[in-house]
Amino acid sequence: MEMFDRSVVLLALAMFLAIGIERLLELIRAAGDYREARGGPAEIEKWKKRAEGLRDRIEVRLNNAGSGTLQLVLSIVCRNLGPASPESGGLIAVSVEQVRTMSIRLQYKLLAIALGILFAFFFKLDIFALVNEELQTQPSTAAVVLYPWLGMIVSGVAMGLGAGPVHKLITALEDARRKRI
């Protein structure tokens, strides 16, 4: 029963931290939006230069790619950044708003994952250790031996991705426990 209590507390802490990271990122995003709004036309020009630089890099890589997988990947990237219009004359059109949105989304996701990993190491949250404890209580199964830091990194990534993945992980552990009983 003691192991059950420990695992519930650790999973509840992981869920709490995941929700906390989400709320913290919302505050950071609001502050970033405010900073951008105060920047005015200079901020728009900065994103325009980034989009033009990205377009130029994609064009060079497309021209050097020939045929194959790289060409396919770059064409998919181009479609997500802004499809070529008839006015572009067949050139790659990159939407400044798409570049801005995707860039900000990636930055915040990486920040969330970094915070999740930091919290996992600080609180020593290791999802694999919980699974191993669960497996060791079953007589016919062998525990999987993994490095503790790997479990903490996976736990941190799950927390950084948000409450949804942590909730799915908790549900999977509960289902495994129910099947065992």
Is the pLDDT assigned to residue 177 strictly greater than 60?
A: yes
Contact of 166 with 15, CB cutoff 8 Å: yes
Is the pLDDT assigned to residue 71 strictly greater than 70?
A: no
Mean pLDDT, rounded, for 49-59: 81
Contact of 103 with 50, CB cutoff 8 Å: yes
Q: Which one is predicted more confidently, 115 or 45?
A: 115
Mean pLDDT, rounded, for 31-39: 88
| Two structure tokens written together for 159 | 């927390």
Domain residue spans in the chain? 2-180
| Two structure tokens written together for 70 | 């790289």
Is the pLDDT assigned to residue 172 strictly greater than 70?
A: yes
Whole-structure pTM value: 0.72
User: Of how many residues is the chain composed?
Assistant: 181
Q: Work out the mean pLDDT of the chain and round it to a whole number.
A: 78
